[in-house]
């Protein structure tokens, strides 16, 4: 029978959890244990043990700890199979609590006897991991596989982007410039470098709709986007298809074009695991309600062909959650898009957008699933000096919140936001210090650090 007892005196200690996972990667481990003495009398006592899993889900666990006094003995326990040998106590999970999801709790306890003092147990371990007071992130495995191999089909869970194991993940990558202008930057050599040298998780494919883009050749641009999706897939990267609307700022101006484009690319790529859909880039000069109305007409078109793909919706004020228009995240929180498996875009340029924008993102991240589909290290014009301090503050915040991002731009455009010096594209070097701008060097350094994708 399951039994719970009132907790009178509590102390907490953090445990490490380990479990058997797939061969690709280890998972984050961590657990909190609360031990309480619910009652004590002459020669006897009753104790409760609460385990909270802070790491990856586990199936099957064994708790061990040490009785400090030789006279302390477990007499009878519940909600686990209990045993004791000398001062060493073992509790093994039973049918109804042997599986612990992330955040899952198992309450167990025992009645015991003592002859001297009755100090609290020490040396807790769970599944053989000694308590160390922290949650351990996995050591990245360079042979774990590509981002798509490890994470599979992505989906939204709560406010997070999650992988096939229902674990939150952060994707880090680069955005193309307009593919109508910089097609020479996106060949096999440059994408090999992005995947293998930069260790990028994703490629954002920016297909402008106006400005000599999609509206001039719908079939041709659709084919080019699909080709880049295939090239990203072949290299194990996610492909973020960006319907790059900028001028005019009302996405409804392109509603029919969006329906035609997304019906085509969703049908063609529905069987792939690496595709994410960004249905409007930077709405501006338009209300959130107008953006929401657009999204609620385009998303069903995507879903009709690809019911599983994550969809990202741009937000008001150049995808600033309304901040650049004097609003904030509450307009989205209070009037969300009527659809599931969606995220909201947030854009920033580090030299122009600082503390007030970071504060908005921090607040919104606990209420909305966010994806930074575009950001720059410079001013909002795409030019000027790189703001190292602000860029670092932004990237540290995104890492802390596990918010995915794509940097503008993986190109040799004649602007300081570009990753490469002019004249780089079309050559054979996309990684050395000789071709990288200051912005490119900083981003390559950040993106190429090993991922720690959780698995189970």
CB of 13 closer than 8 Å to CB of 133: yes
Bridge partners of 376, per DSSP, are: 349
Residue 270 makes CB contacts below 8 A (sequence gap 6+) with 305, 306, 308, 309
* Closest by Cα among 78, 70, 68 to 47: 78
DSSP code of residue 27: -
Kindly list the distances between the CA atom of residue 215 and the CA atoms of 36, 209, 340, in Å, as whole numbers in the listed order. Answer: 68, 6, 29
For 2-43, list the strands marked E by DSSP. Answer: 10-15, 31-41
- Say which residues have a Cβ less than 8 Å from residue 192's Cβ, sequence separation at least 6: 235
What's the N-to-C CA distance of the chain in angstroms? 30
Token pair 């996405």 is found at: 251
**Euclidean distance between CA atoms 403 and 373, whole angstroms:** 10
Nearest-CA neighbor of 281 among 248, 256, 310?
248
Tokens of 28: 């984050």
CA dist., res. 80 & res. 424, Å (int): 64
Q: Does residue 374 have an active-site annotation?
A: yes
282 is catalytic: yes
Query: And the tokens for 3?
Result: 């039994």
Rounded to an integer, what distance in angstroms lies between the CA atom of residue 21 and that of residue 51?
20
- d(CA 428, CA 434) in angstroms, rounded, equals 12
- Alpha-carbon distance 49 to 229, whole Å? 51
* Distance from C-alpha of 102 to C-alpha of 434, rounded to nearest angstrom: 45
Catalytic residue among 233, 278, 329, 374: 374
Which entry of 233, 282, 329, 415 is annotated as an active-site residue?
Answer: 282
Question: What does each C-alpha distance from 454 to 52, 165, 212, 279, 451 come to in angstroms?
Answer: 18, 8, 42, 28, 9
Q: What Å distances lie between residue 262 and 284, 308, 328, CA to CA? A: 21, 14, 29
Measure Cα distances from 83 to 15, 31, 58, 63 in Å.
20, 22, 22, 11
CB 343 within 8 A of CB 371: yes
**Catalytic annotation, residues:** 282, 374
């Amino acid at each position: 029978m399951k039994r719970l007892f009132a907790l009178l005196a509590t102390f907490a200690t953090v445990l490490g959890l380990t479990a058997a996972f797939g061969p690709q990667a280890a998972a984050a481990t961590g657990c909190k244990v609360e031990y309480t003495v619910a009652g004590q009398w002459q020669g006897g006592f009753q104790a409760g043990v609460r385990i909270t899993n802070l790491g990856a889900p586990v199936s099957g666990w064994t708790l061990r700890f040490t009785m400090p006094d030789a006279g302390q003995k477990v007499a009878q326990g519940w909600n686990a199979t209990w045993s004791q040998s000398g001062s060493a106590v073992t509790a093994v999970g039973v049918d109804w609590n042997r599986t612990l999801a992330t955040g899952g709790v198992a309450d167990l306890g025992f009645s015991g006897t003592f002859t001297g003092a009755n100090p609290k147990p020490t040396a807790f371990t769970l599944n053989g991991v000694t308590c160390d007071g922290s949650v351990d992130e996995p050591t990245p495995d360079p042979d774990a596989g590509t981002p798509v191999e490890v994470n599979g089909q992505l989906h939204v869970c709560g406010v997070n982007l999650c992988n096939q194991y229902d674990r939150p993940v952060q994707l880090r990558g680069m955005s193309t410039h307009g593919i109508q202008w910089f097609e020479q930057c996106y060949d096999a050599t440059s994408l090999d470098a992005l995947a293998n040298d930069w260790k990028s998780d994703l490629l954002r494919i920016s297909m402008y709709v106006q400005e000599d883009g999609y509206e001039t050749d719908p079939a041709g641009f659709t084919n080019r986007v699909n080709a880049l999706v295939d090239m990203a897939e072949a290299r194990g990267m996610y492909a973020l298809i960006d319907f790059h609307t900028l001028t005019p700022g009302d996405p409804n101006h392109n509603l029919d074009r969006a329906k035609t484009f997304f019906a085509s690319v969703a049908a063609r790529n529905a069987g792939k695991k690496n595709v994410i859909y960004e249905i409007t880039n930077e709405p501006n000069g338009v209300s959130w309600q107008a953006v929401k109305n657009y999204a609620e007409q385009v998303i069903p078109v995507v879903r009709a062909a690809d019911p599983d793909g994550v969809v990202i919706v741009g937000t008001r004020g150049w995808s600033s959650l309304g901040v650049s228009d004097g609003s904030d995240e509450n307009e989205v929180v209070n009037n969300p898009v009527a659809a599931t498996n969606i995220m909201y875009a947030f854009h920033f340029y580090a030299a122009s957008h600082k503390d007030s924008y970071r504060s908005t993102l921090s607040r919104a991240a606990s209420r909305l699933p966010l994806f930074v589909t575009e950001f720059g290290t410079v001013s909002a014009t795409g030019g000027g000096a790189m703001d190292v301090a602000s860029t670092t503050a932004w990237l540290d915040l995104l890492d802390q919140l596990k918010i995915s991002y794509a940097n503008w731009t993986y190109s040799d455009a004649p602007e300081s936001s570009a990753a490469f010096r002019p004249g780089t594209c079309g050559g054979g070097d996309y990684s050395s210090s000789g071709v990288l701008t200051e912005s490119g060097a900083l981003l390559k350094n950040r993106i190429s650090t090993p991922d720690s994708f959780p698995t189970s």
